[in-house]
Structure 1
Amino acid sequence: MMNIEPKSIPKNNIDPHGLIVGHGDFKYRVDTNWGRLDPSKVPVENCHGMAFDSQGRIFMVTDNDKNNIIVYSKDGELLDAWGTQFPGAHAIKIVEENGVEFIYLVDSGWILNRNWDGESTDDWESPYNKVIAQAGFIAKLTLDGRVLYTIGHPQTIGIYRPDQAFRPTDIAIAPNGDLYVTDGYGSDYLIQYNNQGQYIRHWGGSENSDKNYNLVNTHGIEVDLRQPEQPKLIVSSRFEQALKVFSLSGEYIETIETPGAYIGGPVFHYDHFFAPVCWSDLEGKNVDDSGFIAIFDRNNKLVCNLGAQQPEYINGKLQKMCSSWDIFNHVHAICVDEDDNLYVGQWRANNSYPFKLVKID
């Protein structure tokens, strides 16, 4: 295993010499000042999800209890901030339906604990941990934040037992309007609904006789439309360090191994997709402040890592990767603009705002 020492570049501060990440066709200049705001007025906890609307505005979800939605211009200016009803805000997608845009927001069920002891952050069973769990939900909203409907715990429709947790992590919307929800902090199922929120089917979980169908800490999902005649789902199985590919009706197709990377769901941009990596794996442990961004080509081959050693294939097998510790804490959200620039949000990054990676031609 490579022994990579963290670099001296301070995270979330601009390198005075102009920090450049990436290689080949994927080089970016880091602008960590891009999304900074006044934390006394517009605070963040974690920058969990980001999405563009058709006007080029960037909607970001944070689980801060003062504002769940922050709206930026592409220049990093604050346009709006609203919402306190989504304490576990975790993912956001914006889609157009019959000429009108809507938000689908995923609340994973984690809430800030009013009895927090001021120290515990990972003692999930403690009543004094910083966040504690409740049931999550999905909300469909107008762009200005009016709730149109919600999807709650699947026990209400008979597909979960009452003792099964439902803490969803992401959502994808198919061309026909069907919704695909990953229950990555709950029971690890992938649940398909129609565009009215009515149940169709589910699959996944972590205890299938055919392990290809297992999903473990499934943390992101998107519809792959690069072959429009044969759309697919690409789904994170984060704690298996893999992405799994399914048909839209749930048949397993293939696994994209990502050894060393606790990887999230894909963000498509033309023939490529970008995937956030929350942690690197070192000696079987997910290590703090070891996130990076993985970039895959049309054939689902990893072609570049931003903030990590570059991918290496030996006899067709991707070798284990880990962070270079040069910029990222825990990458959780990515969106890409028409000029190929990236906007990046992070989990557990000292309440830092999202920043921008400016593409270098």
Structure 2
Amino acid sequence: MTFGSGEYTYKADMDWAKRPEGWTWGWTPGMACDSQGRIFVSSRCDHPLVLFDANGNFLDSWGEGILDTAAAHGIYIDPDDNVYCTEFNRHCIRKFNPDGALVLTIGTPGVPGAQDGDPFNIPTDLAVASTGELFISDGYGNTRVHKYAQDGERLLSWGEHGTGSGQFDLSHCVRIDRQDRVWVCDRENRRIQIFDTDGNYLTEWTDLLEPNQVCFDPNEDIVYITELAQQISIYTLDHELIAKWGGGGDTPGDGPGQFIGGPHAICIDAQGNLYVGEVFTDGRWHKYVRQS
């Protein structure tokens, strides 16, 4: 069975990962691909960050004793293959080098911001701009976005609770496109807002079903979106719909291209294959193999 349309047609592979025997898995809110072709799976379980190759062979497990087993949320890999893990209910961001060594913690683990709006209060995700500056969505408690220097110094924050431009109901994911525009999934307002790197509002997309995460095609002006209401969508950066699949919240299922809980994580590898992780269900990972 295939999904998508035209050049963006995929075949589902639900059994791509050769998981270590006896390990158990929780919700999977984060997945990411690095330049070496490694697939990182961030799950709420005893092994919170697990690595596979593109053929699904198990490679390694990172973060035991550092990452909380119930705190996984966002994961991001920068061009130098540094790995950033957002621990949402630990109120911090962890940065690992490409060999898995912890090199930076932003925020105080287990301690929320002292005042309303101060970082962090249940943060959700992180992205790195071409300048090396970090953007962090501080979503569940603060409904804000913070901009940081590479060394962890805060430079700027914006956002507040609401429905207007530059306001958020839940700033759930942040990503940076090749034009250095800052995309923020404002999930509970069912939209994506787009800003410049100084936090100035540019535009928004409103025809979405609770957008969880986005990822950008490394070679084309294409964005891939997971929507909590059991849907994956593919658009051009000019907001032209290319394809979508899933039940749109009406027909949950466990078959290929269906979702039991909701698609949350999404990433793309060098071959254009997509990897998707679900929440509200345990250990459910999808691979969509590009056919064209």
2-side partners of 1:213 and 1:70: how far apart? 35
Deviation at 1:254, TM superposition (A): 0.7
- Deviations along 1:107-159, whole A, 9 cap, x unmatched? 001xxxxxxxxxxxxxxxxxxxxxxxxx41011111233221211159x9988
Check 1:201–1:276 CA distance in 2 against 1; reply closer, same or farther (3 A cut).
same
Deviation >3 Å, runs of 4+: 156-165, 321-326
Residues 172 and 179 of structure 1 are in contact (CA less than 8 Å); yes or no, is this contact kept in structure 2? yes
Q: Name the structure 2 match of 1:214.
A: 167
Q: Name the structure 2 match of 1:179.
A: 134
Q: Name the structure 2 match of 1:94.
A: 77
2-side partners of 1:37 and 1:268: how far apart? 27
Q: Name the structure 1 match of 2:88.
A: 108
Q: Name the structure 2 match of 1:307.
A: 246
Deviation at 1:39, TM superposition (A): 5.5
Deviation at 1:232, TM superposition (A): 0.7
Check 1:30–1:252 CA distance in 2 against 1; reply closer, same or farther (3 A cut).
same
- Deviations along 1:25-65, whole A, 9 cap, x unmatched? 3322111111252462x32211121111221111111121x
1:264 equivalent to 2:227? Answer: no
What residue identity is the alignment partner of 1:345?
G
Q: What secondary structure does 1:27 align onto?
A: strand
Q: What secondary structure does 1:295 align onto?
A: strand
- Deviations along 1:63-86, whole A, 9 cap, x unmatched? 21x111110100011111132322
Structure 2 stretches of 5 or more lacking a match? Answer: none
1-side partners of 2:37 and 2:119: how far apart? 39
Q: Name the structure 2 match of 1:360.
A: 291
Deviation at 1:179, TM superposition (A): 0.6
What residue identity is the alignment partner of 2:6?
G
1-side partners of 2:98 and 2:246: how far apart? 33
Q: How does 1:11-30 map to 2 (within 5 A)?
A: 19-30=1-12
Q: What secondary structure does 2:127 align onto?
A: strand
Q: Name the structure 2 match of 1:6.
A: none
2-side partners of 1:56 and 1:36: how far apart? 16
What residue identity is the alignment partner of 1:294?
S
Check 1:207–1:78 CA distance in 2 against 1; reply closer, same or farther (3 A cut).
same
Q: Name the structure 2 match of 1:13.
A: none
Residues 113 and 120 of structure 2 are in contact (CA less than 8 Å); yes or no, is this contact kept in structure 1? no
Alignment root-mean-square deviation, CA = 2.4
- Deviations along 1:258-317, whole A, 9 cap, x unmatched? 24x0112320002100011112xxxxxxxxxxx111111130233311214xxxxxxxxx
Check 1:52–1:159 CA distance in 2 against 1; reply closer, same or farther (3 A cut).
same
Residues 164 and 186 of structure 1 are in contact (CA less than 8 Å); yes or no, is this contact kept in structure 2? no
Query: What is the number of residues matched between the two proteins?
Result: 281
Deviation at 1:176, TM superposition (A): 1.0
Question: Could you say which structure has the larger radius of gyration?
Answer: 1
Q: What secondary structure does 1:104 align onto?
A: strand
- TM-score, L = length of structure 2: 0.88
Check 1:165–1:141 CA distance in 2 against 1; reply closer, same or farther (3 A cut).
closer
Check 1:57–1:205 CA distance in 2 against 1; reply closer, same or farther (3 A cut).
same
Deviation at 1:162, TM superposition (A): 9.2
